[in-house]
Amino acid sequence: MASFLARRLLQSVLTLLGVLTATFFLVRLAGDPTTLLLPVEATADEVASFRTALGLDQPLLVQYMKFLAHAVEGDFGISLRQRTPALGLVLERLPATLELALTSFILGLILAFAIGLAMRLSGSARLRSAVMWIALARQAIPVFWFGLLLILLFSVTLRWLPSLGRGSVTHLILPAITLSTYELALYLRLFNSSLATEAKQDYVRTAFAKGQSRSKIVIKHMLPNALLPLVTIAGINLGLLLGGTVVTETVFSWPGVGRLIVQSVSQRDYPVIIAGVFVVCLIFMVVNLIVDLLYAYLDPRVRLA
């Protein structure tokens, strides 16, 4: 276990270094931020002075080395727009992203677990086929388009729910439904496939031969084994949700990290972009590590070395 954690820590450090390096150089391709921060009538001397103040007049390699030296200390610079620490701005938005991602994640798992279990307990092939078709049809609809449809129906037409912003629980309903239903088809396919594989095992046939009921066999014997693959995929999806709610946050004007990064890209706010990518990457790696440890705990056959 100790060697596994040490190896994962080293891999995480190298991954973060690679992500920060790539982000640092890629954001420079967006253009010079001085063209957006200074008025159109600014003189060449004023532009040069401003670039010097921001340190943009130095060679790119020098800027990169200074950036790494400060990043090691947790300093990603000052926001060019808001003139406050970039990491602080990202952390301010993080609770909103966590709220949306975790709610969507839990809701998606609950729906998949309940529907998948109901399909297996019913034993109806037609029901399974119908449910899977509906889930796949939902997954075929892009997230932004499905979110707009929900806004049009429940906010504009019926006026039941708010469409934009973050406030009460009602503001969370539409974006959470948008994200959770998109992941539902994946969870259902995996869950249904796992249960179908378990149904062919000898211990299941033995249980049926002993006269045990279908519900007891499915819940007591098949379900624990069928959940193992779901744990891995669910953990990966949680990491993706934490870093991939950009579209949903934009559609519903949800004040999360994803929306902040998108706004910062359009404003060429380099420090905020890099700090946001760093936080998202760090969360993704932590979630994956937790999933690996949980999988080893649930399945004694897995050994972490």
Quick: pLDDT tens for 75-115: 888 888 888 888 899 999 889 888 888 888 888 888 888 88
Q: Locate 69 and state its tokens.
A: 């030296």
C-alpha neighbours within 13 Å on the C-beta side of residue 74: 5
- Is the Cβ–Cβ distance between 260 and 84 less than 8 Å? no
Is the pLDDT at 230 greater than 80? The verdict is: no
- Six token digits for residue 20: 């920060």
Q: Which has the higher per-residue pLDDT, 152 or 58?
A: 152
Helix (H, G, I), strand (E, B) or coil at 85: strand
pLDDT in tens, 107-146: 888 888 888 888 777 777 788 788 888 888 888 888 888 9
- Please say whether the beta carbons of 112 and 119 come within 8 A: no
Q: Is the pTM of this model over 0.85?
A: no
pLDDT at 11 over 80: yes
Domains of the chain are: 86-298 (1.10.3720.10)
Structure tokens at 232: 């891995």
Q: Counting beta carbons within 10 angstroms of the beta carbon of residue 164, is it exposed (0 to 12), middle (13 to 18) or buried (19 or more)?
A: middle
